[in-house]
Chain A
């Protein structure tokens, strides 16, 4: 693997004069980047500290940092001891400048940056680009005359080459000879000779444009919260498709585990008659959830069935639908927010089996009974997952129900403030909700700039309230409750009609789905029926997922049901990538919204170093997959992180 090692220690001779005026020195070294990733220490820091000690200097401390130029991360952990009078930085020029900008004592460079001709890409190859802003590759057969010719000649060879080798550096091939051969091979020599003379326009690279670009890019990287990514949204496939009630399924399979925590206990047996909204599974613990029938008909079986997110064998109630839609007598309005007490609201939410419908399935009643004071309920209408449009449609078509549910939650936790957060890629929803909440005290709509994973509750709290949920903590620790908009609508339905959570909105989309759309689907409907209804899957080489392209889980079997947390079914082109070795490019650290270092998780996973993962706070990872998305080596980081988390759980049990 080519090693773009960034710096080399300056000679002692050059460094000594700078030591004259300082005695108490702190040494900060960068672990280098764009190289094979080894967790052994770079030798340069130690060598420099040794030099200082030989000179009788007091080293007040030293630190080795990854990606020293990542200012946000570097400064977070940096402590320069009292009494230090200068900092020597062992890094490339970027690191030295970053530190010099950030501390008020003199900062010195202990190393020289190594020179490469041109800029490299995200793979460690010999190809380089000088970023001249006027690409000549179209006339040179794809061989770059700026980088590959020692003289950067644009109009042909200098004539100095000998035996195909450059006269400046006889180890190099003459670039123009290579260009000539390539063009001859493609029959394009005449075309080249007919080209006008090329002149390099150095003014194409403009300071103002670049500095404005950098400023905007830095702002977007730190906008609201650190990191995050902007995957292609591809929401246009389904965002304008109005909700359609999905046809009655013949049979539903309702898993007793559609929530985090303990599975519900079945209340029915094969042969029983059930009605719509009838409770068929009872919450088995504090963190658990009731389960209700979405159809009227006959229970055929209570047995393990394949589950969309947990694989095979989850105890489920299978019901033959009589399509009469007879309501259970328990389904009747509970009253109004005005007359209900906070405790009654929480009871209704619990009784109705309402769990987080954004994907995680955490029981909402537990969220609404925190043991800490809450001052704000944030309604999560970000829908930051690419492709999904279910929440968007709910906002547009059930705005008043969503607001009603929010008011109920605010009453339940005695929060004076309710905030509906919507990403700015849904301007119609922002406008509508603003209009509908104009006259409601305490409720506001926050349009937030689109950035994934905005909808992760910790990110949203930071963005909206500017509060940091502590490591291992919950939103309630900072006085907030975050709830998905579809969940809010479910709460409104439960209070106003008494109907528990038996149906939800599902987006069926992707470039491989013939007719994408958004549907109101009964829980337990087979995914296969949804796909067939949308015209089926076109072509082969398809990846099928429940959820969005980022956090969704791959489906290998379409005979699994829609569950409470199924916000989408997507069929997309299959990814074809080969995992290659980590090149320590640092992009995963740059995008991790939890400010972790995902590259180490992959490394430690492969070494079985669970303690190392624990020490780097792997348990804070929200598995948003931003690191895996940006990884230039296509390392399956999230799978390795999950394995690490379970190994740590096992380790802690012992």
Chain B
């Protein structure tokens, strides 16, 4: 699941030469979209006469429905020198694919949040490493719970249970140790050293 934040207004305003057509995607609004900020910014642009039209819709990552909506606004798009998309990176790419001749700009930056499958956002994260280590760590993921993604134990830098990279974060390996002690499985820590094989991630077939 992806959440978006508005880019700096000056950065976006500088992209607009002439007039812009605006696309807003509210599809993942429940997860996170700067609805208020975007609408205020668009009002400013409109009052400066820089906007030919605004399309607010959902799930522009869906190419069929996006096409349907863009076609309804083709005149406004023709009049514009560029298209400003307020969505995640997937949405911007889908719009630029459809409007290949047009300058299509992203007005937002995209951030990943944990979860994203079935329920979102979620406390847990999975980076799909394709070599699940959870069997050796009591079900706490060393790739995502340790800031350094260490897979063979703590780095030694934690202070009072907090990570040295980010003191807001708990040390993932301390959590793993506690969990294993709780379920009586400290013995798995004695398993052989593991190596993360980046070349052998289980690739999903497309």
Contacts and interface: CB of A to CB of B under 8 A. Distances in A.
Interface of A: 2-6, 8, 10, 18, 21, 33-34, 66-71, 92-94, 96-101, 104-109, 111-116, 119-123, 125-135, 137-138, 141-144, 147, 182, 185-186, 188, 204-208, 210-211, 213-214, 217-218, 221, 229-230, 232, 576-578, 580, 585-587, 589-591, 630, 632-634
B46 interface: no
The secondary-structure label for the interface of chain B is loop
Given A144-B89, A217-B32, A112 B131 contact: yes
Contacts of A98: 122, 124
A188 B17 CA distance: 13
B100 interface: yes
Contacts of A96: 132, 134, 139
Contacts of A589: 118-119
Given A105-B183, A207-B166, A207-B168, A114 B203 contact: yes
B140 A128 contact: no
Interface of B: 1-3, 5, 7, 15, 26-32, 35, 58-59, 61-65, 68-69, 72, 88-97, 100-106, 108-132, 134-135, 138-141, 147, 166, 168-169, 179, 182-185, 201-206
Nearest to B110: A131
B201 A115 contact: yes
B132 A111 contact: yes
A214 B166 contact: no
Contacts of A121: 2, 27-28, 59, 61-62, 88, 90-91, 94
A69 B27 CA distance: 21
Contacts of B202: 8, 112-115
B206 to A, nearest CB: 6
Contact of A207 (B5, B92, B169, B179): B169
A217 B31 contact: yes
A131 B134 contact: no
B35 A208 contact: no
A627 B201 CA distance: 35
A308 B5 CA distance: 42
Nearest to B14: A138
A122 B115 contact: no
Contacts, number: 279
Given A217-B31, A578-B65, A632-B59, A69 B112 contact: no
A591 B96 CA distance: 31
A121 B97 CA distance: 15
B96 A135 contact: no
A100 B30 contact: no
**Which of A33, A121, A185, A586 lies at the interface centre, i.e. has the most chain B CB atoms within 10 A of its CB?**
A121
Nearest to B3: A213
**Which of A93, A105, A580 lies at the interface centre, i.e. has the most chain B CB atoms within 10 A of its CB?**
A93
Given A122-B59, A217-B121, A589-B118, 18 more contacts: A33-B118, A69-B115, A94-B122, A97-B126, A100-B139, A113-B129, A113-B202, A115-B204, A121-B28, A121-B88, A129-B89, A132-B109, A137-B89, A138-B106, A142-B93, A217-B31, A217-B32, A633-B62
Contacts of A101: 123-124, 139
A97 B183 contact: no
Contacts of B128: 92-93, 113-116
Nearest to B64: A578
Contact of B64 (A3, A113, A217, A580): A580
A6 B117 contact: yes
Given A113-B129, A214-B113, A578-B68, A100 B119 contact: no
Nearest to A18: B135
B135 A92 contact: no
A119 B116 contact: yes
Contacts of B59: 121-123, 632, 634
Given A93-B128, A116-B204, A210 B109 contact: no
A218 B101 contact: no
A5 B61 CA distance: 19
Given A92-B128, A121-B88, A214 B121 contact: yes
A9 to B, nearest CB: 11
A135 B111 contact: no
A108 B97 contact: no
A538 to B, nearest CB: 15
A173 to B, nearest CB: 13
Contact of B135 (A108, A138, A634): A108
**Which of A104, A213, A589 lies at the interface centre, i.e. has the most chain B CB atoms within 10 A of its CB?**
A213
A552 B183 CA distance: 53
